[in-house]
Structure 1
Amino acid sequence: MEKYYSRIEIFVLADDYAGMTKGFLAQHGVSYFIRLYRDQGEKTSILFDTGYDGKAVLHNMKLLGLDINEVDYIVLSHNHYDHANGLLYLLEKRTKKTAIPVIVGKGFFEKTITLKPMVRILNPDWPRNQAESLGAWFIETSEKLEIMPGVSVPGIVKYDERLEFEKEAPEYYIVGENGFKTDFLEHEIALVIESSRGLLVFAGCSHPGIASIVEKVVNLYGRKVYSVIGGMHLINADELRIKRTIQKLRELGVVKVFAGHCTGLKAEKAFLEVYGDDFVRIHTALQISI
C-alpha cells in the first residue's frame, strides 16, 4: 500500500469559534474528521478528538454530510474533558457493532485535576469499561505507533525533551493512591499524516509545546512538516514565548498553520503577521483539502 494519499480532507467538528456558517455549533473543545483517499478510490476516516459535547459534534457531522459509522480509527490527544468527553455519546450512536480502535497516550486513564481557578477534575465523565462496552478498543502507547501506512502517532514528548521556553510551570496534578503528583501532560499525543507535500501534524492542545512536538516529529520522521493543525496552548503565553514559538516553527520549515481552540488571540495575531495567507484561524465547519 502506498504511503501517501491522493487527497486528504479535514472537517472541523468542534472548536471554540463557530465561524460564520449557519447552523453549526461551537464548544470549548476540539474534534476533527479526517478522510484519506487513495488513488484506487479507497478511503479511510479518522476522528481526532471528540470534543466535550458529543451531541454538538454529531450535529455538525450531520450538517457536513458525514456519518459516525464511517470512522475507522479514533485518536484522543489527551485526557481532558474538552477533547475526550464526547467519545461515549459518539460510540452510542454508532450502529456498527464491530470494535473501533481508540489510540491514546500511556497515562490517559490517570485521574487528573487542576487547582486554578478552582479545584476541578479534568477527565471525561465516562469510565473506561463503559466505553469498552460500546466498542472502544483502547490502544495505549508512549512510543511511535503506526496506525496504518503513512498515519501514525509519534509518541509522547517527555518534560525533559521539551524546548526550554516551553517548560512552563505545571498547573495540573495526577491523583493517585499515595496522594498528588505533578502532571506534566506527558501522555499527550499528536497525529502525523505523511502527505506528498510533507508531514501534517495534528495537535489537540499542545501542552508539551507545539514547537517541541514539531521538533520531535521532524527528528523522528526525517521529513519537513508542511502544516500544523490544532490548538497551540498559547492563550496565556507572553509575547516572548509566542515570538519564540513562531520563530522555531519557521526554522523547522512549517509552511501552513491552522490554529484554534487554546491558541489565543494574541498568538493568532502574531501568526497572521508572520505567516500571512498561510495562517488560518480554525472554526467549526471549516473544511481543509490537501
Structure 2
Amino acid sequence: MKVIILSDNIASEQLKQEWGLGIFIEYEGKNILLDTGASKLYLDNAKKLDIDIRKVDYGVLSHAHYDHANGMESFFHENKEAKFYLRAGSGENCYIKFGIFSHYIGIRKGTLETYKDRILFVDGDYELIPGVTLIPHKTSNLAMIGKKNRMYIKKEGKWYPDDFSHEQSLVFETEKGLVILNSCCHTGADMIIREVAKTFNNKHIYAIIGGFHLYNASHEEVKALANRIKDTGIEKVYTGHCTGEKSYKILKEQLGEKLEQFKVGLTIEV
C-alpha cells in the first residue's frame, strides 16, 4: 500500500500548497483518490509527481467541506470513468455560524446535481473493494461537537448543529494491521480509532492518516487527545492539514516517534 499527499497546507520541493487535502492511494493494483483539495492544485501536483489522475479507479470524499471537495469538478473533467463515493448524509449545506452570521464551507453549490451520474451515496459499512471499507461514525450525540465548533447544517431554512453524518473513514486491511484515513477527524482521532476497532472486532490498527482539526485547540485539549490516542495502542500517526503547527508540536512532545508530519509530495508505504 502506498499513500501520496497531493494537496496539503505544507509544500515541498517544486510542489505547491493550499488549505486543503487530497491523497492518492495505491492498493492491490487499484488507485484511489481521497478528496480533491480546495482547487485543482492537487491535479497540478499530481502531474509533477507523474501520477495520472485518469487512472484513478475510485474517488472518495471524506466529508462535505470545500477544502476537500472543490477540486471534484476538475477530477470529473480529467477522469472520465471513476465514480466518487460520498456518505449518504452529504449535501451542499455546511456552514460555520457565529450568532446571526454564517459562512458557507460546503461543497461548491451545484456540484452534486451537475455530476450526479458520477456520484454514489453510500450507507453503513461499505466495501469499496476487498480489503477497503468506508466506515461512518457510530457514536451518538456528535451534534454536541458540531455545536462546540460552530459547525452547522442548514436544511429547509433551519439550522442544526453538524452531527458529521457526512463524514467517513477509509479503512485498509494490510499485513501490519488496519490503516485509517480520515481527513479531518472532527470528532476526535481517538474516537475514530475506537469506532474502527469496534467495527473490525478489535483487529489491530497500525496507523491513522489525516488532519486532526486542532488548529485552534488549547494546549490542554491537544495534550489530552495525544494521551487518548496513545491509549488506543496505535503504532503510527501521520497528520497535517487542519492539525496546525502549534498543535503538531504538542502532539510530537507526547507521541514522539509514533507521530510524523505529512506534506505535499510525502509518500507513506505500508
Tell whether the structures are fold-level matches, with TM greater than 0.5.
yes
State the Cα distance separating 1:161 from its structure 2 match. 6.6
Give yes or no for contact 1:159–1:208 (8 Å, CA) kept in 2. Answer: no
Which amino acid in the other structure matches residue 146 of structure 1?
A: E
Aligned-residue Cα RMSD (Å) equals 2.1
- Superposed, 1:1-290 pairs within 5 Å as 8-19=1-12, 21=13, 23-37=14-28, 43-54=29-40, 56-94=41-79, 96=80, 98=81, 100-116=82-98, 119-125=102-108, 126-132=110-116, 136-141=118-123, 143-160=124-141, 169-221=148-200, 222-290=202-270
Instruction: Give the 3-state SS of the residue equivalent to 1:269 in structure 2.
Output: helix
Aligned equivalents of 1:157, 1:237: Cα separation in 2:
24
Instruction: Give the 3-state SS of the residue equivalent to 1:233 in structure 2.
Output: coil
State the Cα distance separating 1:185 from its structure 2 match. 2.1
Aligned equivalents of 1:277, 1:147: Cα separation in 2:
32
Give yes or no for contact 1:188–1:208 (8 Å, CA) kept in 2. Answer: no
Q: Where do 5+ consecutive residues of structure 2 fail to align?
A: none
Aligned equivalents of 1:186, 1:71: Cα separation in 2:
26
- How many pairs were matched up? 267
Aligned equivalents of 1:227, 1:63: Cα separation in 2:
27
Instruction: Give the 3-state SS of the residue equivalent to 2:243 in structure 1.
Output: coil
Aligned equivalents of 1:169, 1:119: Cα separation in 2:
15
Task: Using structure 1 for the length normalisation, give the TM-score.
Answer: 0.86
Counterparts in 2 of 1:157 and 1:26: CA distance versus 1, 3 Å: farther
Aligned equivalents of 1:215, 1:275: Cα separation in 2:
18
Which amino acid in the other structure matches residue 85 of structure 2?
A: I
Give yes or no for contact 1:224–1:252 (8 Å, CA) kept in 2. Answer: no
State the Cα distance separating 1:32 from its structure 2 match. 0.3
Aligned equivalents of 2:46, 2:146: Cα separation in 1:
36
Task: Using structure 2 for the length normalisation, give the TM-score.
Answer: 0.92
Q: Deviations over 1:14-61 (max 9, x none)?
A: 001113x1x201010110000013xxxxx101101110112x111110
Instruction: Give the 3-state SS of the residue equivalent to 2:184 in structure 1.
Output: coil
Aligned equivalents of 1:167, 1:182: Cα separation in 2:
5
Q: Deviations over 1:195-253 (max 9, x none)?
A: 11011110111112111111101111121211111101111222222122111211111
